[in-house]
Amino acid sequence: MKTALPALAALAILASLTGCQPGGKNASTMPTNNKPASTPPTAAPSTTVTPATNAAPAKVVRSEEEWRKMLTPEQYRVLRQAGTERAFGTVYEEFKKQGVGTYVCGGCGAELFSSKEKFDSHCGWPSFYDPANAKNVLTRDDLAHGMVRTEVICAKCDGHLGHVFKGEGFPTPTDKRYCINGVSLKFIPAGQTNAPAK
């Protein structure tokens, strides 16, 4: 048993460094009426950027100093430095309780996801099976940590949102899991308007 403990500790450290990984198949669709620990930031190399549609939104461009002033340190680490928030944190618990509404980029306010496409993948991060407004979501190859993954970014501000995984067998229309950092998102309940980011 003593030799198994170091191996388990190593696996836990690896999971925290690599962030969201392909998960299991036991997911349930969530009803629509219902400061994490630090991980070293990593810049995601990009070889391909794929817009989900042809129409690209106008870019939001700010200096790093401006981003640092307007975002919390955790938002900056995730959105601007491709970090990953801790799994099963406070933001994830809040996400599970949020009802009908829209999820916008925490950096620029671009509409990204809808509560209609959210589901509980039990992975510890907010999960969606499809973007609500595909023109605001881009994907690109992420080769960090010796793995091949597909990074999800905001098309308006290039903020890192998370990763998308395919073919995991979830009972959703797309068989995709957009595994998104909760601090990258802002929830706008149905009936409220989204004030644009300054």
Residue 131 belongs to domain with CATH number: 2.170.150.20
162 lies in a domain? Answer: yes
Say how many domains are in the chain: 1
126 lies in a domain? Answer: yes
Across the 198 residues of the chain, what is the mean pLDDT of every consecutive 10-residue run? 44 45 47 35 40 65 95 97 95 94 96 95 96 90 89 97 95 94 96 68
8 lies in a domain? Answer: no
105, 123, 157, 179: the catalytic one is 179
3 lies in a domain? Answer: no
139 lies in a domain? Answer: yes
pLDDT computed for residue 123 by the predictor = 94
9 lies in a domain? Answer: no
Nearest Cα to 157, choosing from 115, 118, 186, 130? 186
pLDDT computed for residue 133 by the predictor = 80
Q: pTM for this structure?
A: 0.73
- Is 157 catalytic? The answer is no
pLDDT computed for residue 183 by the predictor = 97
Output Rg (C-alpha) for the chain, integer angstroms.
Answer: 16
104 lies in a domain? Answer: yes
Secondary structure element (H or E) that encloses residue 137, with its range: strand 137-142
pLDDT computed for residue 46 by the predictor = 37
pLDDT computed for residue 197 by the predictor = 54
* Domain with 71 in it: 45-189
62 lies in a domain? Answer: yes
- What CA–CA distance (Å, rounded) separates 13 from 38? 12
Q: Contact 110/147 with Cβ under 8 angstroms?
A: no
pLDDT computed for residue 22 by the predictor = 57
- What CA–CA distance (Å, rounded) separates 182 from 127? 9
HSE-CB of 192 using CA atoms within 13 angstroms? 13
Q: Scan for tokens 């549609």, then name that residue.
A: 53
